[in-house]
A and B are shown apart, each in its own frame.
Chain A
Amino acid sequence: MDFLMRWVRRQFTTRVIVLMPVAIAINIVLGAAVQQWLKLPIYLDSIGTILVGVLAGPLAGALTGILSNLIWGYLLPSPVGSTTIGPFAVTAGVIGLLAGLWGQFGLFRPRRSRVASVLGAVVAVVMVGALALYTYVRAYASPDQFSVNTSYAAASIDQSRAFFLAVMVVYVVLVAWALFLRRDVGAVYAIGAGLVTGIVAAIVSAPIAAVVYGGVTGGGTDAVVAAFRTGGDSLYSATLKQGLLSDPMDKMITSYVVFFIVGSLSRRFVSRFPNGDRAIADAPNDAHEASPETAAES
């Protein structure tokens, strides 16, 4: 019990308490900015949540995610405030919780390529790929189950397979970029962690979208839900498939951005957080370091 209390208290130092509102603001502003200015079909509204999870721990990450959605949904005026985001606080909490676990396992630590790390990365790629394959095969590629559930012909399975392929292509491209351009095996772990987080987030958010919003949330992803429903999917099934397409891609990109951000911060700054020592590279590499101040200037 005492150990548990210490573990909880350790995650909420004054520095983490200061980081949390900053992270919430980052979530809300970048989430809105990506939709408003870049008009991309991803959310990018959990950079702050994953950052807190990685640097502080699972509980701090979960609380940051939950508070982000509640504040965004219910405490900010229009047009920034968006009541549709509020019910997804549960999903945001799970994302923060998972990010905290990944941080404790050291998955966001930069690892400039070494033989052991490369071998580890290969194992991680195979494991994550197998997990993703299993999930998508269960969700998408079973013509028998599809026909039994929907009484439709299994023609739209092809469409599902195309979506599955798109997610895996994004994963492979990001991993290749990390390995061959940045030469950093740590990024592979971070992207893999993002893929798993995205799959879990999709599973958690599907019933919320189906029950609260009838499967549509007013964003670009509604077209995907509509496409699946045209194929005969039930409401829950359509929102789950849409989530399994959007969320893994979003969380892979978000995790990669967080990995880049953590790697760009100074070791001194990062190490002051409860999990900071698990997010910094083993050997200092001054060429890639910057304090928040100098990083902002660059």
Chain B
Amino acid sequence: MSEEAKLLNVSYDPTRELYTDINAVFAEHYKARTGVSVTFEQSHGGSSKQARSVIDGLKADVVTLGAGWDITAIERAGLINPGWQEKLPYNSSPYTSTVGFLVRKGNPKNIRDWKDLTRPGVQVIVPNPKTGAAARWAFLALWGATANAKTHDLTTFQGLKDAQEAAHSARDFPVYQNAEARAVIEKFYNNNVPVLDTGARGATVTFAQKQLGDVLLNWENELWLALDEFGKDKFEIVYPSSSILGEPPVAVVDEVVDKKGTRDVAEAYLKFLYTPEAQEIVAQNHYRPRDVEAMKKYSSDMPPIPLFTIDEIFGGWPTAQEAFFADGALFDQIYRPAK
């Protein structure tokens, strides 16, 4: 192996800061262990757009995207071998996040839970699920919570194990037939959403900078970013009684690493994300670490709310995508004028 290696990590929008921190530490470790110095290139953007770039020829060694569906699309294009999601622990998602609310200081509209979002007069800023991973998680969170989806406490080993077993044994998904969830979703997007931004960061800017809306519905890490950027005296985070486990997965792009000869370092890089040291960095950047100890340490910032998983409740990404977000699927139907 050469003494130098170059890795391109193609990632989604909010992970800029996270991977800048992790790359520095990984490079140090890898150099000490193997003598190879690694330099990184990072690319960030909307999750689907990034996936499309890789499909269209961007030579990414690893992809770290916002939703499994986008990596599945790369897999279907023949660049990643099937079974990538079983290669690394926890669905190949070394860190997670969830969907929460950001409200204006003092919570003037008294937003406490999902049902408050569909109250008349409450305006919610959320991106378009067709153009952003965060928005798709938010849609699923609202749907699942309304349908009383079964949740887990994912801050304990037992909870993590239960969730995984439940996901594996889940066979039918009654949540899709839930009429109340459908009605709530339809009402919500038609009456309570004044603007649909194309991405998570755009929605944060609309809410925090342009001062539009009463609630921002977004990734937990994005809510924290708004607090850090715009001031804790302006906003506060509200956690609903339950939400979805957002799993942004990672994968090695087999086609690329085999050609470039970077498989070893790329695989080591993704495995490194699961080490206690990386998990600590993950938590500092307001993502939820899988590591139970790290999670406990940061539980005052990221309270252990009950979470449901896409695999157990919705049967995984391809099914959810087909039912909700594909061309002409439910999300399009919401906005179809009644015939």
Whether A and B are associated in the same complex: the answer reads: no
Residues of B within 8 A of A (CB): none
A residues touching B (Cβ–Cβ < 8 Å)? none
